[in-house]
């Protein structure tokens, strides 16, 4: 809340005499006359107690409309507009507005403030006016933002002077008021700094970090329909490298309100699905301010599969939004946070964040959350070794409510990032350990075997709600700096997922940040994956981080339309959302394009399987931005043999498809798309790619879900319509089988057990190998199957 009086502001020099407005100045307020309803405006939500109702009214100072604010709960509960990224430190701005109040029981005159919230507890009154009841009053003044003021958050709102207990005299402090004709005129906002990563952040041949064109932290791996989806804190949101030095200011977690999402079916080529606007005024859940450390789960609810994305709303609470698929669209079934100070059993926690869900085999669901400083009521040694700062709670059947009281997870040296997975009837709880200090009892010594600072420890239990210190099993992952060197330390956040019979461990490290700036990093983290292996007794073999990452699960199938933002490696490009749905993932999925493509940039795919017959053409859907640009399709390296060249043509303004012939694109190769054209110009934007094969085998495929004895099965059948025998391989997330020499007109059939009572809708892959006109041909087709619940 704003505390300073206008006189103090004048004394401090924050309200200056009117200065001439330069010709280049502009009005930074959107819809200041409210002629477009409430577009650009919302109620100040800087504090949990702030609340009001904002509506349009015809009682305007000028024009047809103004804003009316009613039902105010605090003096700061007033109309607000976000000027983040528009105003600049050290600049002077002229502010004008009209305001009126009419409360019959209110005072004859009332002071109002135009106030800026710079984030956290930093509020500054900018301009003041004293209004006479029933008459329009005018704000008319200038203000200078101090040169040292951070403006990464800058939100302007209108309020009455602060008082601790405004509800004691609501007619004096919480009156309704109207606002109109708001303007803030001054220097235009600076052009946004380029976020494009110009270095090669993921080196060819390496599989960590997962992506090299943007950041992502706290990755949570979720498997569905034969793909792995990775939900991450959007570290890129605050990345703003200096155009001269290339160094960004340190990461500001308080600004992050988006979740970054990528997916892959081979763990090496990742498709960028962009960002989910979770929190903030324009978010799916606008009653929350931040979205960190996501967790993901799906469940059949009322006969329909639904997807639940959990996230930390800062440190004090956690929430959940609901999706129709792993890619959305997203909605909020709640109007308040899921986990907060009112959650039974969570009251002692300082941090009620890092929510991680688990849906058990019997359908019961759980949420793990919490962290932060230990309770000062505990002895110092216990605060260090067993801080009891993480909780487990049962979720309701709807997945958006809790039931019962949270129980303590007594994880040794715990700090945050609790996560649970199940394997062979055992539950595994992993977490990030703390670094000691006054929050954890001062200078203490960990008990033998307990984690050191910033490590990932784990526990094993027979019960998802029982985690005593005796279930501690050891260190799962040392600190990442042990593997990636200077500049990569700090705490971590992990998850574990099973994909096609193997377990994988996700974590983050500022490796891309290090490749950009060297050993002095600014906290921007990147996702990594390593394989997770187990000892015969069920304990986990300690994971070692590296740049090599994991092996590619399968070769990439190029014979379908796929998103251009599917990247094994890249240099110098960025991605951005564009209108329309995805050609690969459907009309309701977000669609992105590769952009900021300059001469010398490139994108690449790992282990593309063209088959023995090979590809005859490649087609790019693109938008041409510069004349004389071309795309070369190269094999195996950025300087490898040219298999084909796409001459993109002159700029056309719209999206177009351009096809080029290919020569030599047979077998398995890394494929590089290299971009050439006039220096200093953006050349193209790319939406999708598609390769066409030289010949196809006439093979058909069907897939069905079936229930047997309460268990779900996926039955796959492939038919040989060719004139000679072919070899057929049926590939599913639940197993693979090869049939050799399938006769003409015959079928290959296999029913694959899912070992579960439910199966999600998904796809299977059929690979057929034979000869066409004396040429070896491999044909790859897919078939979709529905989901089923057999219990």
629: nearest Cα among 654, 658, 603, 605:
658
What residues are paired with 706 via a beta bridge? Answer: 713
Distance CA 355, CA 529 (A): 20
Give the SS3 label for residue 651: coil
Distance CA 115, CA 15 (A): 12
Distance CA 720, CA 746 (A): 6
678: nearest Cα among 640, 624, 751:
624
Distance CA 275, CA 576 (A): 9
Distance CA 349, CA 352 (A): 6
75 dihedral zone (left: phi>0; alpha: psi -120 to 50; beta): alpha
Contacts of residue 121, defined as CB under 8 A and 6 or more positions apart, other chains included, come to none
| β-strands 109-117, 66-70 pairing | unpaired
503: nearest Cα among 473, 543, 467:
543
Give the SS3 label for residue 471: helix
Question: Judging by beta carbons within 10 Å of its beta carbon (0-12, 13-18, 19+), is residue 257 exposed, middle or buried?
Answer: buried
The CA distances from residue 740 to 18, 527, 719, 747, in Å, are: 86, 40, 13, 11
Distance CA 154, CA 40 (A): 14
The 3-state secondary structure of 346-360, one letter per residue: CCCCCECCCCEEEEC
C-alpha 636: how far from chain center:
31
Distance CA 433, CA 435 (A): 7
Contacts of residue 145, defined as CB under 8 A and 6 or more positions apart, other chains included, come to 87, 88, 89, 90, 91, 93, 116, 151
Give the SS3 label for residue 754: coil
Contacts of residue 104, defined as CB under 8 A and 6 or more positions apart, other chains included, come to none
Distance CA 353, CA 294 (A): 10
Contacts of residue 468, defined as CB under 8 A and 6 or more positions apart, other chains included, come to 410
Catalytic positions, written as ranges: 218, 416
Q: Are 671 and 634 in contact (CB under 8 A)?
A: yes
Which backbone phi and psi does 331 adopt, to 5 degrees? -145, 165
What residues are paired with 157 via a beta bridge? Answer: 80, 115
Q: Are 75 and 163 in contact (CB under 8 A)?
A: yes
What is the DSSP track for 585-634?
Answer: TBTTS-EEEEE---TT-EEEEEEEE-TTT-EEEEEEEEEE-STT-EEEEE
Q: Is the sign of the CA dihedral 485, 488, 493, 499 positive or negative?
A: negative
Distance CA 121, CA 761 (A): 48
| β-strands 356-359, 365-370 pairing | antiparallel
């Amino acid at each position: 809340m704003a505390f300073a009086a206008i006189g103090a502001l004048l004394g401090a020099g924050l309200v200056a005499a009117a200065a001439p407005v330069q010709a280049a100045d502009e009005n930074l307020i959107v819809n200041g006359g409210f002629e477009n309803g409430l577009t650009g405006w919302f109620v100040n939500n800087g504090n949990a107690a702030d609340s009001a109702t904002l509506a349009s009214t015809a009682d305007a100072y000028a024009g047809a409309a103004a804003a009316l604010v009613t039902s105010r709960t605090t003096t700061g509960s007033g109309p607000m507009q976000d000027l983040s990224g528009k105003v600049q430190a050290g600049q002077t701005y002229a502010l004008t507005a009209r305001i009126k109040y009419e409360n019959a029981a209110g005072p004859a005159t009332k002071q109002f403030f135009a106030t800026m919230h710079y984030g956290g507890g930093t509020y500054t009154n900018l301009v003041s006016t004293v209004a006479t009841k029933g008459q329009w009053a005018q704000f008319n003044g200038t203000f200078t933002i101090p040169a040292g003021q951070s403006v990464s958050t800058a939100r302007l709102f209108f309020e009455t002077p602060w008082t601790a207990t405004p509800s004691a005299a609501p007619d004096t402090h919480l009156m309704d008021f109207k606002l109109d004709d708001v303007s803030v005129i001054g220097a235009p906002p600076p052009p946004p700094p380029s976020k494009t990563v110009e270095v090669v952040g993921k080196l060819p041949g390496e599989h960590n970090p997962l992506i090299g064109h943007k950041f992502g932290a706290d990755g949570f791996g979720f498997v569905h329909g034969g793909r792995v989806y990775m939900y991450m804190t959007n570290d890129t949101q605050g990345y703003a490298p200096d155009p001269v030095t290339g160094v960004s200011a340190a990461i500001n977690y308080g600004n992050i309100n988006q979740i970054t999402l990528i997916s892959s079916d081979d763990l090496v080529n990742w498709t960028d699905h962009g960002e989910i606007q979770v929190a903030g005024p324009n978010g799916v859940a606008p009653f929350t301010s931040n979205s960190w450390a996501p967790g993901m789960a799906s469940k059949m609810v009322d006969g329909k599969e639904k997807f639940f994305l959990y996230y930390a709303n800062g440190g004090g609470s956690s929430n959940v939004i609901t999706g129709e698929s792993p890619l959305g669209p997203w909605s909020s079934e709640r109007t308040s946070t899921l986990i907060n100070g009112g959650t039974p059993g969570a009251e002692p926690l300082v941090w009620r964040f890092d929510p991680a869900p688990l849906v058990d085999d019997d359908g019961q669901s759980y949420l793990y959350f919490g962290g932060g400083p230990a309770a000062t009521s505990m002895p110092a040694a216990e605060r260090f070794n067993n801080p009891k700062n993480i909780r487990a709670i049962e979720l309701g059947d709807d997945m958006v409510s809790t039931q019962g009281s949270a129980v303590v997870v007594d994880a040794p040296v715990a700090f945050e990032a609790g996560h649970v997975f199940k394997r062979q009837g055992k539950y595994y709880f992993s977490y990030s350990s703390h670094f000691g200090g006054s929050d954890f009892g001062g200078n203490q010594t960990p008990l033998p075997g307990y984690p050191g600072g910033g490590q990932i420890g784990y526990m094993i239990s027979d019960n998802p709600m029982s985690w005593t210190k005796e279930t501690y099993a050891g260190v799962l992952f040392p600190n990442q700096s042990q593997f990636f060197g200077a500049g990569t330390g700090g705490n971590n956040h992990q998850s574990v997922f099973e994909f096609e019979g193997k377990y994988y461990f996700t974590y983050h490290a500022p490796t891309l940040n290090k490749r950009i700036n060297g050993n002095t990093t600014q906290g921007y983290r990147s996702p990594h994956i390593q394989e997770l292996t187990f000892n015969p007794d069920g304990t986990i073999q300690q994971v070692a981080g590296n740049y090599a990452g994991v092996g590619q699960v399968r070769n990439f199938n190029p014979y379908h339309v796929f998103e251009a933002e599917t990247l094994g490696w890249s240099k110098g490009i960025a991605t951005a959302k564009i209108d329309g749905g995805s050609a690969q993932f459907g009309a309701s999925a977000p669609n992105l394009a590769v952009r900021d493509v300059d001469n010398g940039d490139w994108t690449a795919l790992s282990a593309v399987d063209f088959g023995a017959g090979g590809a005859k053409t490649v087609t790019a859907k693109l938008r041409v931005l510069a004349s004389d640009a071309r795309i070369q399709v190269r094999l195996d390296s950025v300087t490898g043999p040219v298999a084909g060249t796409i001459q993109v043509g002159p700029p056309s303004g719209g999206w177009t498809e351009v096809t080029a012939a290919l020569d030599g694109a047979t077998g398995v190769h890394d494929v590089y798309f290299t971009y050439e054209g006039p220096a200093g110009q953006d050349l193209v934007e790319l939406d999708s790619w598609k390769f066409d094969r030289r010949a196809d085998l006439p093979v058909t495929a069907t897939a069905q879900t079936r229930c047997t004895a309460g268990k779900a099965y996926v039955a796959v059948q492939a038919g040989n319509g060719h004139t000679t025998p072919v070899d057929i391989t049926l590939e599913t997330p639940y197993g693979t089988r090869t049939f050799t020499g399938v006769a003409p007109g015959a079928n290959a059939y296999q029913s694959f057990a899912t070992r579960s009572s439910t199966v999600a809708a998904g796809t299977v892959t059929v690979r057929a190998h034979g000869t066409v006109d004396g040429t070896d041909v491999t044909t790859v087709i897919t078939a979709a199957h529905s989901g089923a619940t057999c219990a």
